[in-house]
Structure 1
Amino acid sequence: MKAVDEVVVETGHGITGDRYENARHRQVTVQSADGLAAAAVDLGLEVKPAGTRRNITIDHGQVPTTPGARVRIGEVELEVVRVAAPCRILDDEIAPGAAAALRRRAGTVFRTVRGGTVRIGDEVSL
């Protein structure tokens, strides 16, 4: 994972250069800093955004999980596909128990309804 200040998101394709670019449904993953903080309490140590392998971390609020719900991040509009299940690799990458601590907090998988550029600091409409 590599942190960047902005990403280009293409309608129907996802984030340019991402390994899931052009995937049918798993185009963008979004997680919440609030969810990571709650997981950190359960785990007993900090859970850094990059450690979860999600594309975008919003700094406040809970990411919607109801299929069909929409989110706007800057000029990009996303539609919920499903909850993102935490991967067992997280137990090796972060700490034993990380996958369990992130269950139901690991973010949401979206498809791209309207593309554009997402930048750090963009407004998020949940």
Structure 2
Amino acid sequence: MSEPSEEQPVVVAIHLAKGRRLPMRPTDRVHAEEGAGLVGDRYHGTRHRHVSVQSASELAEATERLGAPVPFGGTRRNVTLSHGGVPTRPGTRVTVGGAVLEVVRKAAPCRILDDEIAPGAARALHDRAGTILRVLVSGDIAVGDPWVVEPRGDDEA
């Protein structure tokens, strides 16, 4: 694998929660299990909602719209990338660390964020809430790992 370039996003934060509504906890590394998700996360073992990914630059835009900080873990997403957009087209494949992921759908911000972050947070995160992916190939994901979107071979990469 090639070294990450300045333009290539890298993982800057990883958060997991053991259960629904339980606090998100930061970690430096997590194992992504094929067909199951992130070991230790509340969605491990679900059918498709294995990993949620967001972009720090999109959170910065949400912070500006909200007028209050939007912390990485406050959004309840698992992986935060350094910058750029997160692919939303279903079927798009991504390599991160030793894992291969596939986009399932865009993530929708939850109204719980208005209580957890600040009133209006869900609205500020509209179209900035990230993407839901499933794990196709098991592997470890760590802070600092490059995020590599695989070419699709058609009109959209």
TM range (shorter): over 0.9
The amino acid across from 1:33 in the alignment is A
SS in 2 for 1:3: strand
TM-score computed with the length of structure 2 as normaliser: 0.79
Matched residue, 1:49: 72
User: Which segments of 5 or more consecutive residues in structure 1 lack a partner in the other structure?
Assistant: none
SS across alignment from 2:118: coil
TM superposition outliers: structure 1 runs of 4+ over 2 Å: none
Long gaps (5+) in structure 2: 1-23, 150-157
Residue 74 of structure 1 corresponds to 97
Higher RCO, 1 vs 2 (CA within 8 Å, ≥6 residues apart): 1
> Structure 1 residue 75: deviation in Å?
1.3
| Bigger Rg over Cα | 2
Match of 1:40 among 46, 51, 63: 63
Equivalent of 2:134 in 84, 95, 111: 111
Aligned-pair CA distance for 1:73: 1.0
Structure with more helix by fraction: 1
Identity %: 56
TM-score by length of 1: 0.97
Matched residue pairs, number? 126
- 1:2 pairs with 11, 14, 25, which one? 25
Q: Which of residues 95, 109, 114 in structure 2 aligns to 1:91?
A: 114
- One-letter identity of the residue aligned with 1:62: G
The Cα shift of 1:72 comes to 1.3
- Residue 147 of structure 2: aligned partner: 124
Give the C-alpha shift of residue 14 in structure 1.
0.4
Tell me how large the CA RMSD over aligned residues is: 0.7
Q: 1:102 aligns with which of 120, 125, 128?
A: 125
